[in-house]
Structure 1
């Protein structure tokens, strides 16, 4: 898992073709297996070698196309299914499985922890070892927004804090939230907040000043009222 490279084996099959075969032999469909065991697993060395051997033999059958290779491929797929169920059904391994909702939660954690860097749908999907189109669909389903929109919102949130609490230039703030181009940052910021970075900074300052003025007037009025009440009480 910590290696910079990895080997990926994609298994593409016609669910209708193997549905009856797997259900008759296992009482379990191939589609259900991939739904139940979705995710990334940290395998013991012996289990890894066992599963790898089955997958490579499945690849060999697919590439060699010997007589009855499709039937043999189905047998190898069933062997793969049995091996997966046998070795990944323990409670410890189940805790490593990624449910769709868990994938989205982990994507959010990545975004929040790296929001000040350049981050994309592609980079997140690579960290989670899943297809970026699949991640995009899940994120939209559970968060009701796109991955990129969520990234933009989080970056804008930090940018707003920096605009209010510092005197940094727009260029410096853009760089601090992962944008190399300050013009693009300003465009994204305006799309999310309705105003440019500099206008937002001015708006907050003016709003704060008005609020402070109002509070000062309110305190002054209360003080005058108390003084009038005290004066009236003394007279009586």
Structure 2
């Protein structure tokens, strides 16, 4: 199964593309949606889609920015561009960043199917790298849960796995280690703005470089005022409880509560045991269950009232969290 993410700020277009992909069935499954490039990049690091279908023109960060970020970070993801008649030059620029294809709006199902098949043919080039990227991401997902000794051991394990890998070319090892180093540097700098970046060079002593980064992270994290951070996370949760039906992105929340995105993402997961997106979805699905049991609203009306912008997205999240579709849930309760 190939995991697809759809990025489009116009909800009706996003829903239409999601529906097309799901109707194709077979090898493709929509696992996430986003309404701008910034939200998409944050979501990528949570769900790791195989293929990203993205619009060009979007608010905050557009599709060209997203495609460039995916290419420059050398993420193991194939991109497909959606474009309008007057955006052709942007699409050409996206192709420079290795976009697989671009589709002209309005999108035809046959053209989307062909583009996905073309993207699928390119996926084997990332087969070896994907496992290592996921290992790196899992370390950062859990980094606040490690004590110092466990973190040193896990970091060293990942580095040694990359260095000793027989299924990787030397240039691929360099890409992975640079990515690992960049993510560490980004994380530390987001928590400590005056931190001096520690660039990675393939010729240097690799173990010493990552040992230094781990030491820097531990010093930075231990210096945080954790009492203050707990209070911020508590205020965020109170806000979401009252406003779960509204559309929220991580960037919206961090601006409202004056905290960096990296700090927020790490600490939210530490104190709540799940990501911001999963927490918000859990709130929405909990409320949706009450509405479904009540029986007065149609499923699409429930989806709208709890904050989902598309019915397919609501159905997908509901089944992920409950093991049943909304209609199956109603039948199970004889509603």
TM range (shorter): 0.3 to 0.5
Given the two structures, how large is their TM-score scaled by the length of structure 1? 0.47
Q: Which has the larger radius of gyration?
A: 1
Structure with the largest fraction of strand = 2
